[in-house]
Amino acid sequence: MTSLYTQQSRNVFRTWMLMSAFFLLVMLVGWAISWYMQSPGILWVAVIFALVMNISAYWFSDKVALASSGAKEADSVQYLELHRILENLAITAGLPKPRLYIIEDSAPNAFAAGRDPKHAVVAVTTGLLAQLDRSELEGVIAHELSHVGNRDILVMTVAVVLAGLITVVVDMFLRVSLFGGGGNRDRGGNAVLAIVAILAIILAPIAAQLIQMAISRKREFLADASGALLTRYPDGLASALQKISSYQSPMRKASHATAHLFISNPFGAHEAGKFIAKLFSTHPPVGERVAALQGMKV
């Protein structure tokens, strides 16, 4: 039987393997465009633009996520028990207690955001509070704290930066090509290399999106394993995920920009299990997450 520590180690390894693949893809696109356009200056402009836009998003990730979901700060009296659960788990994890927010939404869900543990926030929906018992709620809060402790916001920001970089560079390449750019196309008749370069440029955004989604799914598995280590009770989180997935309707303020932050797909779970939907999903199927938790030993 797989232990929680083994599962956590595997997920960390797989995530960094995917990040390495992402960097290789960026280098491939850079080579292809530089070779085809014979204008490396375009790449530098694209790199600076993508970095500025995405690092800004990372720096203000908590504010963007809270505003887009309509979250309000949780009253310390009305939600006293929730504050206690968060504080106790944060102490166990060796983390500062994040700011706690409530989202008025009947869909059960939760997310964590923030550029580092000192600026982290945890938000839960009213639907989550209404449907989960204490052990299940502890499992969800522990999962979100694990995102903070594992620096998942940083990892996902790097993925977004790279995906954004690839998209911007390819878009610039296509625009320049349409308006007669392309540099010196006489490359000694190396048609095969030109075709490879063009295909790499065109297919790169799709590959970047797939890798970004794969990284997001691995971070969910890692947070599940890390969260179960905090509570020492994997069944609590497994039960919570089953309840969350049984609610099919999307959140009222679901956004593609922040979907990867939530513990479950905010657009509903009706797509789970479909192969193509799974490839482009920010979350692994709940059945796989539950099976992984139930197959672990503490």
SS3 content of the chain, % helix, strand, coil (to 5): 65, 5, 25
The residue annotated as part of the active site, out of 144, 220, 271, 288, is: 144
Cβ-in-10-Å burial (0-12, 13-18, 19+) of 95 comes to middle
What sign has the CA pseudo-torsion 73, 267, 218, 65? negative
Give the bridge partners for 110, in sequence order.
124
Residues 6+ apart with CB under 8 A from 58: 115, 153, 154, 157, 160, 161
C-alpha distances out from residue 271 to 44, 107, 219, 260, 289, Å: 39, 16, 20, 15, 15
Rg of the chain, C-alpha, whole Å: 21
Alpha carbons 201 and 245: distance in angstroms, whole number: 37
**Kind and range of the H or E element at 125?**
strand 121-125
Backbone φ and ψ of 99, nearest 5°: -70, 145
Known active-site residue 144: yes
| Residues involved in catalysis | 144
